[in-house]
Structure 1
Amino acid sequence: MGEAAVARHVMVTGGGTGIGAAIAALLKSEGARVSLLGRRREPLEKTAGSIGGATIVQADVTDAEAVSAAVASATAENGPVEILVNSAGIAMTAPFVKTDLDLLRTVWRVNVEGVFICTQAVLPAMLKSGFGRVVNVASTAGLKGYAYTSAYTASKHAVIGLTRSLALETAGRGVTVNAVCPGFTDTDLTSESVEKIVAATGRSADEARAALSDTNPLKRLIRPDEVADAVRWLVGPAAGAITGQSIVVAGGEVM
């Protein structure tokens, strides 16, 4: 993050697993005070232990009161949240004609309302201090379409729109708002996608994983640490003029 960003308070939602855990580990290694927010305590504790300690705050990102309480608790321990990484998210797949409103609303609540709620909880303190970094973990699905993922793709497009609008509102006030857009990444979420492909098509797990890898020119899954490194740059002092952007980490899949 660079000298100017060392020891800032970073909150990572969905910080117990996958990309969120990788981001927390990298920023912690560079001196940040890290708070991990998530629903399940066990993965949060596991990540906190593996990165050398972090503040754990349990909350469902769709529950505004719980998030507010979690932010207050983390602030009491580490000071105001200066860097927010919205990494919590879910992916549910189905053909459009089989995508009912319950599925749509479930995905929308976590992926869009969760980003909205968590950002609203920390933004006033950022604006008051004149410094803040918000990074939303979106997806290449926020920039292009994928079959059988209409709810997820719509939600990630919404996250990109929210990122751009909030970047304009906060421009010139010391706060930047950006998104990172990973392609298929080697996480538990992708493993779940592999299982669904196997169940639906009869392919082997290796064949299903290869099909996902083939979506980008590198012909491999993205590593969580590669996404984390993009976040590190966005929250560091050298990226102070970068706002409203969607940084694609996808091996050339989206240009």
Structure 2
Amino acid sequence: MPEAASPRHALITGGGTGIGAAIATALAAEGCRVTLLGRREGPLRAVAEGLPDAGFVTGDVTCPESIDTAFCAARAARGPIDILVANAGAAESGRFAAQGRAVWRRMMAVNLDAVHDCAQAALPDLLASPAGRLVVVASTAGLKGYGFSVAYSAAKHGAIGLVRSLAMELAGTKVTVNAVCPGFTDTDIVAEAVATISGKTGRSAQAARAELARFNPQGRLIDPLEVARAVAWLACTDSRSITGQSIIVAGGEIM
């Protein structure tokens, strides 16, 4: 009998909450060894303790030195990285005319620079893997414009450009590079957006959620597990012909 392949190691940034936690659950269900990376130990530990063969490392993806330290700790605990899910992100909204450079830099740092730095840190492992996978959790905002989110949308457009270009560069290897682009998803980021809308407009939270859900032709917010299942599909070994793509999870929203 041939020796069974060892479990693949998946590292997920922003893995303690929302979409990241759902992705961790989905990949663990596929038999992956999972490492969660984030800034807050509490949420990371809570997710990791509920999964088989999972652990966590703390770090700040906007700091290259912190990324290097965290990735080294992840390798020491669970071996080389076969799957990198660049999920960590943040969103700030507001009128462009009123936003200074600080907002622009914060959005670029976490939504674009961190994708670049994490991809570079993981690349040697991904190239050495029999089926290296890089999946970036982007957004429909990376494929179309939304008012009052210029910096966020620009960063997500950049992340998708990185995915497309890197996929072409690595097409002759066993590494695939793809993006998943959720619409408005029922996460803490949307909860913060609802609070902002309510605070600025006086509308109820229910009305604010409905305002975001209306972008989805199905009239609802996306469930994080729906995004996670798309990531798990892209990460599987059978998806070797899927690269350079932006998979939209948005209920039919036209880009």
Give TM class, smaller chain.
Answer: over 0.9
1:130 & 1:25 partners in 2: Cα distance? 23
Q: Residues 160-201 of structure 1: CA distance to partner in whole angstroms, max 9, x if unpaired?
A: 000001101111210000000000000111000000000011
Shift in alpha-carbon separation, 1:5–1:36, aligned structure 2, 3 A: farther
Which secondary structure does the structure 2 equivalent of 1:35 belong to? strand
1:201 alignment counterpart: 201
Q: Give the Cα separation in 2 of the matches to 1:6 and 1:17.
A: 27
Q: Distance in 1 between matches of 2:152 and 2:5?
A: 33
What pairs with 1:60-209 in structure 2 (closer than 5 Å)? 60-209=60-209
Q: Secondary structure at the match of 1:157?
A: helix
Please give the alpha-carbon distance, in whole angstroms, between the structure 2 residues aligned to 1:238 and 1:80.
Answer: 20
String of CA shifts for 1:79-114, please: whole Å, max 9, x gaps: 100000001000000101011100000110011111
Q: What residue ranges of structure 1 are gaps of 5+ in the alignment? A: none
Residues 234 and 9 (structure 1), Cα distance of their counterparts in 2 relative to 1, 3 Å cut: same
* C-alpha deviation, 1:227, in angstroms: 0.3
| Residue aligned with 2:177, SS | strand
Alignment of 1:11-90 (within 5 A): 11-52=11-52, 54-90=54-90
| Greater Cα shift, 158-167 or 5-14 | 5-14
2-structure distance, mates of 1:248, 1:30: 22
8 A contact 1:99–1:151 mirrored in 2: no
Q: Distance in 2 between matches of 1:52 and 1:212?
A: 35
Structure 1 letter corresponding to 2:194: V
Aligned partners of 1:87, 1:134: CA distance in 2, in Å? 11
Give the secondary structure class of the aligned counterpart of 1:215. coil
TM-score by length of 1: 0.96
Q: Following the alignment from structure 1 to structure 2, what is the Cα–Cα distance between the partners of residues 129 and 144?
A: 34
Structure 2: distance between partners of 1:52 and 1:200: 43
Partner of 2:218: 218
Contact 1:140–1:254 at 8 Å: present in 2 too?
Answer: no
Shift of 1:5: 8.4
CA contact (8 A) 2:45 2:55 kept: no
Offset, 1:66: 1.2
Aligned length: 252
CA displacement at 1:54 relative to structure 2: 1.7
Runs of 4+ in 1 over 6 A off after TM superposition: none
Give 1:53 deviation, angstroms: 5.0
The answer as to whether partners of 1:141 and 1:153 remain within 8 angstroms in 2 is yes
Deviation at 1:30, TM superposition (A): 1.7
Gaps of 5+ in 2: none
The one-letter code matched in structure 2 to 1:162 is: L
Map of 2:235 onto structure 1: 235
Give the letter for the 2:14 counterpart.
Answer: G
Q: Is the 8 A contact 1:22 1:225 kept in 2?
A: yes
SS of the counterpart of 1:147?
coil
1:58: Cα distance to partner? 0.7
- CA–CA separation in structure 1 for the residues paired with 2:62 and 2:22: 23
Structure 2 counterpart SS, 1:12: strand
Q: What TM-score does the superposition give when structure 2 sets the normalisation length?
A: 0.96
CA distance in 2, matches of 1:238, 1:108: 33
Contact 1:130-1:173 at 8 Å conserved across structures: no
Whether contact under 8 Å (2:84, 2:135) holds in the other structure is yes
